[in-house]
Structure 1
Amino acid sequence: MGPARKAPAVMIQGTGSNVGKSLIVAGLCRLFANRGLNVRPFKPQNMSNNAAVTSDGGEIGRAQALQAMGCRTPLTVHMNPVLLKPETDTGAQVIVQGKRFGTMRAREYGKHKAELLPKVLDSFEMLRAEADLVLVEGAGSPAEINLRAGDIANMGFAEAADLPVILCGDIDRGGVIASVVGTHAVLEPEEQARIKGFFINRFRGDVSLFDDGMREIETRTGWKGLGVVPWFADAGKLPAEDALDLARGEGDGAIKIVVPVISRIANFDDLDPLRMEPGVTLELVQPGSPLPLDADLVLLPGSKSTIGDLEFFRAQGWDIDLIAHHRRGGHILGVCGGYQMLGKTISDPDGIEGKAGTVEGLGFLDVETVLTADKSLVQATGKHLPSGAPVSGYEIHIGRTTGMDCARPAFHLREDGGRPKLDGAMSKDGRVVGTYLHGLFTDDGFRKAYLSGFGAVSDLAYDARIDAVLDDLASHLEKALDVDAVLEIASAR
């Protein structure tokens, strides 16, 4: 038997967080897929509460799900083998190859990184064996040399996998020459040598105005300039991974949907299709602001820490606002953690989210939730019972919800594996609904039927729109970057 096949691979690292690495990798995935290559995305370690459920029954960061869509390939846990999901300011749930590994504080996690590297490399090699090209995304920046010991996210991984690196700088935030040259300055010589090129992202205006800047960086670093990527105006149409990227308000449609932005908001990709609906005004209410009086629907989103976010919700006075909204005849939809908050009680007997005990819910639904260690991670299809519309989505939650209002379920679902079940609960007046099904608004049939109940007409083909934006992004990068050089760098080792 010969040696295992090793596809070409290259790692895109950044001069900092949020410099556009995820978007660039998604665009390159589509660009090379359009050239006929079998491409895979990979991110060794990600930190996000916006996760996607994979076909092999695990979870990965939402950015890798978008990149997989760019590749036109199904999701697998191996695309993002370590996912950190913040639960508090100092601790996070650690997901390894799609499954819960534990909840740890940052210092404790640092002690475990060395034992996670073999699993990360194992996942990477699995992808490499089935692909023509693997595009690897770093996390944060290699310039964070205080985190270099035990690193599995940037240079530590690149060194372990012996990968070439391309560095991305963001000119929109200013100081891009200093950020690229400064990164070179703090790296060790062998790390400097591993970086084979750089490009500049998010340039507004005439890119030729930065020709001197590119030459200056090349001179000071010895790295090859691969191009300047102009601002991509349609980036906002693609799903956001970070809650900080969520806009306060979008659209000017007649139907107003309001979303209170809780502190540990999770899986907020539920909102992405609503942002694109011309008949909908989507307003994200920030902490400290009241829920507006003219809302047709208040949507309570998912949460990584339901009990903590319920306390946060009340601290903003949103519980009082929600009562007033309902009294005015308004509708309420709770998804996952939002569904749990709408019930009478939430019990955490094992202290999974903190101190063990039971807290009072918002009381809009006659249901009770008990948090358990078992996590539901399934994709599902089915039917919306009130409208009969087809629906598809995924579940990603801990806890079980039961009670009188569950006798009025919202959906009849069939999970992967074929097991049918009823999901969700509705109040007697039908104006309060809870469900564990994420991604339901991505389904064009369900979204059209649901919005019609508020008098809105929908003809949006959401997945097709996202697919078209990915193609546009690929064309955008083809014009801006020396993509043949990217392939040469990937194939050099």
Structure 2
Amino acid sequence: MARAIMLQGTGSDVGKTVLVAGLCRAAKKRGLKVRPFKPQNMSNNAAVADIPGDNNAGGGEIGRAQWLQAVACGVAPSVHMNPVLLKPQTDIGSQVVVQGKVFGEARARDYQAMKGRLMEAVLESWDEVGEGADLVIVEGAGSPAEINLRSRDIANMGFATRANVPVILVGDIDRGGVIASVAGTHLILPEDDRRMIVGYLINKFRGDVSLFDDGIKAIEKFTGWPCFGVVPWLKAAARLPSEDSVVLERLASGEKRALKVAVPMLGRIANFDDLDPLKAEPQVEVVFVPPGQRFPEAAGLVVIPGSKSTIGDLLKFRENGWDRDLLAHRKRGGHVVGICGGFQMLGRMVRDPDGIEGSVTETEGLGLLDFETVMEPEKIVRNSSARSVQFDLPLEGYEIHLGRTTGPDMARPSAIINGVEDGAVSADGKVMGTYLHGLFSADAFRTKFLESLGVRGGGIDYRAEVERALDEVAVELETHLDCDAIFALAR
């Protein structure tokens, strides 16, 4: 097996994903064959990855974070990098994806009982990822301090102890109480788990790092653990795709620019990193609209993003009055783009006769395009080669969706995906829908699309921007962490 090291957090959203990506890039720059691994992830931001050995498979799902970490490693993403992916569909239940394929659905309590079987898949994927690698950097989920879930854990210490992977604990100083969170984790962990931790690091520090010197001494007094460094607030991280929808609550609209794009924060929003290339444009302001707030009247474009529960989010869309906001936006001459679930919402009707996404089996759509969607059990998961019909330009992206969409407006497709017509466009050309995630990542298309809205594109190479951001994060980590010691502790 390859040598490995694992990052676990004192809580959720402490920055593990970016730290793992940055360490992967730093290891790659040192000439190491490095791979990412996350035993269990919970996110509706998914990516399409290879299924090794299955030439007939279109691809499987993994968390978007592991896709980004694979990019940082300079390797193709594999379903084995994230063997268990939970995609929340309701407040109490999730779709369970195992090694890229839908395994079933489970309520939270039922899932705890399921974990014993899933550990076998996790360890199988662990062997696959380590094959031929020099180093594997593992990301935990949540916190090992959730000792009430320890007996069936597959994401943190349950995995670390089974695979014998040393752990570095990550504390987030930005949220406050970091000394207590690190010392408290030490206090409540069982001895066998505590023994796995080889040290800790502090993340998201703002200001003079030397001001935390006494904090390091205090933590060492309580725990005996060494500190591998204090990481400053990583500005480059804002240019990387976000995995967790909790970040949407903190996104500011930023300064006013030539084009304001309004994006409703759907309850089961999925793959909202589709908006990242637009956010990177200097003339574009992307505003995520939370429930209870109105669409800004100054918006020239509304983008309805993907959803893990199209009917459920469509019902909430109406409860928020966003359907009225959308009609008013159209009357003002505004443009609308729907992606995947957002595309399905734009039609006349959404039907789910088998109750695949929930108990409500049908609801009226927003009626901006003339078609209807019927949910079907077969899930399409694949990377796609596509072309924009409107601009005759190449597109890049992927599909992850249920449902078959048919109707008159499908005769005006928005794209050709793998040689097949996809999506729909309104007669006036101002409403467009597609199943293709990632269409705004195509630089030439994005530039022409913005020009059609009267906005000059910035000529940005979006993928190159992501690569530069990863490089910058890696440099910061090499500067502020003892990476020699971290990599040397891998076993």
User: Residue 179 of structure 1 corresponds to which residue in structure 2?
Assistant: 181
Q: Deviations over 1:139-175 (max 9, x none)?
A: 0000010110110000000011111111111111111
User: Residue 238 of structure 1 corresponds to which residue in structure 2?
Assistant: 240
Query: Match of 1:21, as an amino acid?
Result: K
User: Residue 133 of structure 1 corresponds to which residue in structure 2?
Assistant: 135
User: Residue 211 of structure 1 corresponds to which residue in structure 2?
Assistant: 213
Deviation at 1:291, TM superposition (A): 1.2
State which of 336, 344, 348 in structure 2 corresponds to 1:332: 336
State which of 268, 284, 302 in structure 1 corresponds to 2:306: 302
User: Residue 449 of structure 1 corresponds to which residue in structure 2?
Assistant: 448
Query: Match of 1:440, as an amino acid?
Result: L
Q: Which 10-residue stretch deviates more, 164-173 or 241-250?
A: 241-250
Query: Match of 2:430, as an amino acid?
Result: R
Query: Match of 1:49, as an amino acid?
Result: N
Q: Deviations over 1:113-157 (max 9, x none)?
A: 000001001101111112110000000000010110110000000
Q: Secondary structure at the match of 2:241?
A: coil
Conserved 8 A contact 1:389-1:449: no
Q: Deviations over 1:39-90 (max 9, x none)?
A: 1000000111111111330011111111111111111101100011111110
Change (3 A) 1:233 1:356: closer
Q: Which 10-residue stretch deviates more, 214-223 or 78-87?
A: 214-223
Q: Secondary structure at the match of 1:351?
A: coil
Conserved 8 A contact 2:173-2:203: yes
Asked whether 1:380 is paired with 2:379, we answer: no
Matches within 5 A, 1:339-378: 339-355=343-359, 357-378=361-382
Separation (CA, whole Å) in 1 of partners of 2:246 and 2:191: 35
Deviation at 1:381, TM superposition (A): 1.5
Conserved 8 A contact 1:258-1:291: yes
Q: Secondary structure at the match of 1:148?
A: helix
State which of 252, 258, 264 in structure 2 corresponds to 1:260: 264
Q: Which 10-residue stretch deviates more, 481-490 or 219-228?
A: 219-228
Deviation at 1:202, TM superposition (A): 1.1
Q: TM-score, normalised by structure 2?
A: 0.96
User: Residue 469 of structure 2 corresponds to which residue in structure 1?
Assistant: 469
User: Residue 230 of structure 2 corresponds to which residue in structure 1?
Assistant: 228
Separation (CA, whole Å) in 2 of partners of 1:395 and 1:23: 25
User: Residue 30 of structure 1 corresponds to which residue in structure 2?
Assistant: 25
User: Residue 417 of structure 1 corresponds to which residue in structure 2?
Assistant: none
Query: Match of 1:82, as an amino acid?
Result: V
Separation (CA, whole Å) in 1 of partners of 2:318 and 2:23: 44
User: Residue 77 of structure 2 corresponds to which residue in structure 1?
Assistant: 75
Deviation at 1:412, TM superposition (A): 1.1
Deviation at 1:357, TM superposition (A): 2.9
Query: Match of 1:62, as an amino acid?
Result: R
Conserved 8 A contact 2:198-2:225: yes
Matches within 5 A, 1:262-277: 262-277=266-281
User: Residue 3 of structure 1 corresponds to which residue in structure 2?
Assistant: none
Conserved 8 A contact 2:236-2:470: no
User: Residue 106 of structure 1 corresponds to which residue in structure 2?
Assistant: 108
Q: Percent identity?
A: 57
Deviation at 1:244, TM superposition (A): 2.1
Q: Secondary structure at the match of 2:160?
A: helix
Query: Match of 2:453, as an amino acid?
Result: F
Conserved 8 A contact 1:54-1:75: yes
How many residue pairs get matched? 481
Separation (CA, whole Å) in 1 of partners of 2:229 and 2:391: 51
Separation (CA, whole Å) in 2 of partners of 1:115 and 1:46: 16
User: Residue 405 of structure 1 corresponds to which residue in structure 2?
Assistant: 409
Conserved 8 A contact 1:250-1:275: no
Q: Deviations over 1:177-201 (max 9, x none)?
A: 1111100000111111110111111
Separation (CA, whole Å) in 2 of partners of 1:67 and 1:37: 14
User: Residue 34 of structure 2 corresponds to which residue in structure 1?
Assistant: 39
Q: TM-score, normalised by structure 1?
A: 0.96
Separation (CA, whole Å) in 2 of partners of 1:200 and 1:355: 44
Query: Match of 1:24, as an amino acid?
Result: L
Separation (CA, whole Å) in 1 of partners of 2:252 and 2:87: 23
Conserved 8 A contact 2:311-2:360: no
User: Residue 399 of structure 2 corresponds to which residue in structure 1?
Assistant: 395
Query: Match of 2:467, as an amino acid?
Result: D
Query: Match of 2:361, as an amino acid?
Result: G
Q: Which runs of 5+ in 2 are unaligned?
A: 52-58
Separation (CA, whole Å) in 2 of partners of 1:62 and 1:221: 34
Separation (CA, whole Å) in 2 of partners of 1:8 and 1:423: 45
Deviation at 1:252, TM superposition (A): 2.9
Q: Secondary structure at the match of 2:214?
A: helix
State which of 168, 190, 201 in structure 1 corresponds to 2:170: 168
Q: Which 10-residue stretch deviates more, 308-317 or 348-357?
A: 348-357
Runs of 4+ in 1 over 3 A off after TM superposition: none
Deviation at 1:250, TM superposition (A): 3.5
User: Residue 47 of structure 2 corresponds to which residue in structure 1?
Assistant: 52
Separation (CA, whole Å) in 2 of partners of 1:293 and 1:14: 41
Q: Secondary structure at the match of 1:339?
A: helix
Q: Which runs of 5+ in 1 are unaligned?
A: 1-5, 415-419
Query: Match of 1:199, as an amino acid?
Result: L
Deviation at 1:218, TM superposition (A): 1.7
Separation (CA, whole Å) in 2 of partners of 1:226 and 1:281: 38
